[in-house]
Amino acid sequence: MNNTWLFILQALTVIVVLGLLYRPLGGYMAHVYTTQKNLRVERGFYRLIGVDPASEQTWPVYLRSLLAFSLIGVLLVYLLQRIQEWLPLSLGLPPVEQGLAWNTAISFVTNTNWQSYSPELTMGYTVQIAGLAVQNFASAAVGIAVAIALVRGLSRRKSLTIGNFWVDVTRGILRILLPLSVVAAIILIVAGVIQNFNPFEHITTITGGSAVIPGGPVASQEAIKEIGTNGGGFFNANSAHPFENPWPWTSIFEIILMLAIPFALPRTFGKMVGDNRQGYAILSVMGIFWIASAALLTLLESVGSGTASQLAGAAMEGKETRFGIVGSTLFGTSSTLTSTGAVNAMHDSFTSLGGGLAMLNMMLGEVAPGGVGSGLYGILAVAIVAVFVAGLMVGRTPEYLGKKLGGREIKMASIYILITPTIVLLGTALSFAIPAVEASVTGTSMANPGLHGYSEVLYAFTSAGNNNGSAFAGLTASTPWFDTALGVAMLLGRFLPMVFILALAGSLAAQDKVPVTAGTLPTHRPQFIGLLIGTILIVSALTYLPVLALGPLAEGLK
Task: List the interface residues with other proteins, window 63-102 (CB under 8 A).
Answer: 64-65, 68-69, 71-73, 76
CA distance 262 to 255: 12
Calculate the dihedral angle through the C-alpha atoms of 491, 178, 60, 422, rounding to the nearest 10 degrees.
30
Chain-centre distance for alpha carbon 481: 24
Contact status, residue 202 vs residue 212, Cβ threshold 8 Å:
yes
**Residues 493-512 vs other proteins: string with x where CB under 8 A?**
--------------------
Q: Which is nearer to other proteins, 211 or 514 (CB)?
A: 211
Q: Which of 42, 368, 53, 293 has its CA nearest to residue 173?
A: 42
Residues within window 116-135 making contact with other proteins, judged by CB under 8 A: 118, 120-121, 129-131, 133-134
CA distance 463 to 472: 10
Rounded to a whole number of angstroms, the distance between the first and last alpha carbons of the chain is 31
**Residues 456-475 vs other proteins: string with x where CB under 8 A?**
----------------xxx-
CA distance 224 to 229: 8
Residues within window 169-208 making contact with other proteins, judged by CB under 8 A: 169-170, 173, 178, 181-182, 185-186, 189-198, 200-201, 203-207
Residues within window 345-384 making contact with other proteins, judged by CB under 8 A: 345-346, 348-352, 355
Q: Which is nearer to other proteins, 48 or 436 (CB)?
A: 48
Among the residue ranges 6-14, 383-391, 412-420, 523-531, the one whose residues contact other proteins (CB under 8 A): 6-14
Q: Give least dist CB 276 to other proteins, A.
A: 32
Residues within window 212-231 making contact with other proteins, judged by CB under 8 A: 212-215, 217, 219-221
Q: Give least dist CB 534 to other proteins, A.
A: 32
Q: Which is nearer to other proteins, 27 or 318 (CB)?
A: 318
Residues within window 473-492 making contact with other proteins, judged by CB under 8 A: 473-474
Q: Give least dist CB 337 to other proteins, A.
A: 19
CA distance 500 to 249: 40
Q: Which is nearer to other proteins, 37 or 558 (CB)?
A: 558
Residue 528 CA: distances (Å) to CA of 43, 387, 523, 534: 43, 8, 5, 10
DSSP letter for each residue of 183-252: HHHHHHHHHT--B--PPPEEEE-TTS-EEEE--SBHHHHHHHHHHTT----SSTTGGGSTTT--SHHHHH
Q: Give least dist CB 185 to other proteins, A.
A: 5
Side chain identity at residue 421, one-letter code? P
Among the residue ranges 30-38, 148-156, 344-352, 517-525, the one whose residues contact other proteins (CB under 8 A): 344-352
Rg over CA atoms, the chain: 23
**Residues 434-453 vs other proteins: string with x where CB under 8 A?**
-------------xxxxxx-
Residue 522: CA atoms inside 13 Å, Cβ hemisphere, count?
A: 8
Bridge partners, residue 195, by sequence: 217
Q: Does 13 bind other proteins (CB under 8 A)?
A: yes
For other proteins, which residue of 155, 161, 298, 344 counts as binding (CB under 8 A)?
A: 344
Q: Which is nearer to other proteins, 182 or 537 (CB)?
A: 182
DSSP letter for each residue of 105-171: HHHHHTT----SS-HHHH--HHIIIIIIHHHHHHHHHHHHHHHHHHHHHHH-SS-S----HHHHHHH
For other proteins, which residue of 22, 33, 117, 243 counts as binding (CB under 8 A)?
A: 243
b/e map 421-445, b = 16+ CB within 10 Å: bebbbbbbeebeeeeebeebbbeeb
Residues within window 128-167 making contact with other proteins, judged by CB under 8 A: 129-131, 133-134, 137-138, 166
Among the residue ranges 239-247, 397-405, 480-488, 524-532, the one whose residues contact other proteins (CB under 8 A): 239-247
Q: Which is nearer to other proteins, 72 or 433 (CB)?
A: 72
Residue 203 φ/ψ, nearest 5 degrees: -130, 165
Residues within window 313-332 making contact with other proteins, judged by CB under 8 A: 313-325, 327-328
Q: Which is nearer to other proteins, 346 or 502 (CB)?
A: 346
